[in-house]
Amino acid sequence: MYLIVGGMGQGKEHIAIEQFDLKPEEVLDVAECKLTPEGVTAFLAGEEGLRIRCLNHLHCLLREHWDSETDWQDWCRQLAKRRPELVILMDEVGSGIVPIETKERRYRELAGRVGCMLAAQAKTVTRVVCGIGVVIKSS
């Protein structure tokens, strides 16, 4: 699995398309598809999911399902195991004031933890700043 991270609007999609030669139909936008975390795994395992080579906006899935009882460690591990060539895009969202609202705070913490889990599983991690992709992990 390959992970591409960075702040909002920094050009992660651009880097992903360029680096992995992705076509629009090969990208699953988890912000739009209304799937649960388990739904995403199931979809990818199904026939229709075979064409998918990239998950976009993963942080939105975490925002939507911040209180889900998903075993995220296992979720990340399964994803990396079953789809070793998958490209995952997610925003960095943790560099602000700790939110007072429980939901916002838990979402940010979850994004931090899941980001660490995915990065640990990833073959490469690219961080995008101002459209420039810097590889911060390569195996």
Partner 1 sequence: MMVLITGGSKCGKSSMAERLLQQFDGNKYYLATMEPFGEEGKLVVDRHRQMRAGKGFQTIEQYTQIHQAEVKPGSGVLLECVGNLCANEMFSPAGQNREGDVVQRMLTDIRQLAQICQLLVLVTNQVGADGIQYTESTTAYIRNLGELNWLLAEEADLVIEMVYGIPVVWKGKI
Looking at residues 39 to 98 of the shown chain, list those that interact with partner 1 (rule: CB under 8 A).
92-98
How far apart, in whole angstroms, are the C-alpha atoms of residue 10 and residue 132? 8
Under 8 Å between Cβ of 111 and 94: yes
Nearest alpha-carbon partner for 1 in 118, 115, 92: 118
Of positions 41, 127, 128, 133, contacts partner 1 by CB under 8 A? 127
- Phi, psi dihedrals of residue 85, rounded to the nearest 5°: -105, 10
Of positions 17, 22, 35, 120, contacts partner 1 by CB under 8 A? 120
Q: Give min distance, CB of 98 to partner 1, in A.
A: 7
Instruction: Mark the segment that binds partner 1 (CB under 8 A) among 30-38, 59-67, 79-87, 120-128.
Output: 120-128
How far apart, in whole angstroms, are the C-alpha atoms of residue 138 and residue 103? 34
Instruction: Kindly state whether residue 112 participates in binding partner 1, applying the rule CB under 8 A.
Output: yes
Of positions 1, 4, 5, 55, contacts partner 1 by CB under 8 A? 5
DSSP H or E segment with residue 116: helix 102-121
Of positions 13, 125, 128, 133, contacts partner 1 by CB under 8 A? 125
- Those residues whose C-beta lies under 8 Å from the C-beta of residue 19, and which sit 6 or more positions away, are 126, 133
Q: Which residues bind partner 1 (CB under 8 A)?
A: 3, 5, 7, 92-98, 108-109, 111-113, 115-116, 118-120, 125, 127, 136-137
